[in-house]
């Protein structure tokens, strides 16, 4: 039995992608529109959103800053004003590599404001509306960096761990009400964020490949979407290792 109601036919569906100016969010928006969905896109950068909206009918741009709770509430009111939403995807994110030997407190807090508080702003304004319409699906993009602690992820990793926990709790609360919930944990995807990494990224995939994997997971009603599986399955297994083994393995693998 599927964890969520499966999405197999997107024709006539309405999706709101928050964090869609580039990378995974934009690729998902393009893929959903190509399959017949009406797509609303949001992000801080208005120009790429408008370019997406102007390219074809059935697209709407709603620029917003997810750290601004009032702006998120206004955008949600407009998105729902045009009809029920079948999918809400939180894909907004911020990433800067950081280690505990060089702490930048402002960067730590910026990660929290965008990655966690931004998601909470969206959840707080959208969940009551989803409950009122008694349908819909809420999906949060986390990361395999949220599975366990990793070098360079002092600021980023904890925020993604928070999103995984948030999605699990939302699923338990909302699934009995007919609302689907999923969490997306990609490995390395070639985006402007990962372009900052100075190391070779194993099993690197394109945003389009990530979007294909996400649509495949939603079609199967999966709660926890992770890809590419040749990489992420090993990371999921590492969650089960005793701490002593895990820390030794990470140090050996990364040299950090």
For residue 105, report the phi and psi dihedrals to the nearest 5 degrees. -60, -40
Q: 156 an active-site residue?
A: yes
Within 121-232, strands assigned E span: 137-141, 180-186, 224-227
* Active-site residue, from 147, 156, 171, 246: 156
Give the number of other Cβ atoms within 10 Å of residue 254's Cβ: 11
Give the number of other Cβ atoms within 10 Å of residue 196's Cβ: 11
Give CA torsion, residues 41, 42, 44, 49, to 10 deg.
20
Whether 250 and 69 have beta carbons less than 8 Å apart is answered as no
Consecutive H or E run containing 61: strand 59-61
Please state, in angstroms and rounded to a whole number, the distance separating the CA atoms of residues 222 and 4.
Answer: 6
Q: What share of the chain is helix, strand, coil (3-state, %, to 5)?
A: 50, 15, 35
Tell me the catalytic residues.
156
């Amino acid at each position: 039995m599927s964890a969520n109601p499966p999405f197999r036919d997107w024709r006539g569906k309405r999706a709101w992608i928050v964090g869609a100016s580039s990378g995974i969010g934009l690729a998902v928006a393009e893929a959903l529109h190509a399959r017949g969905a009406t797509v609303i896109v949001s992000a801080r950068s208005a120009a790429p959103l408008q370019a997406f909206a102007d390219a074809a009918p059935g697209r709407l741009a709603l620029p917003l800053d997810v750290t601004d709770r009032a702006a998120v509430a206004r955008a949600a009111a407009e998105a729902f004003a045009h009809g029920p939403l079948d999918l809400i995807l939180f894909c907004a994110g911020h990433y800067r590599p950081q280690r505990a030997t060089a702490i930048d407190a402002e960067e730590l807090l910026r990660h929290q404001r965008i990655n966690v508080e931004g998601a909470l702003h969206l959840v707080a304004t959208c969940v009551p509306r989803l409950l009122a319409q008694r349908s819909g699906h809420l999906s949060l993009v986390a990361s395999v960096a949220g599975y366990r602690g990793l070098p360079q992820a002092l600021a980023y990793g904890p925020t993604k761990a928070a999103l995984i926990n948030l999605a699990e709790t939302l699923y338990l609360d909302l699934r009995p009400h007919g609302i689907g919930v999923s969490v997306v944990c990609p490995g390395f995807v070639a985006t402007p964020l990962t372009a900052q990494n100075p190391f070779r990224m194993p099993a690197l995939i394109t945003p389009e490949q990530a979007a294909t994997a996400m649509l495949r997971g939603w079609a199967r009603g999966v709660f926890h979407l992770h890809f590419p599986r040749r990489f992420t399955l090993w990371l999921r297994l590492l969650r089960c290792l005793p701490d002593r083994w895990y820390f030794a393995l990470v140090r050996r693998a990364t040299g950090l």
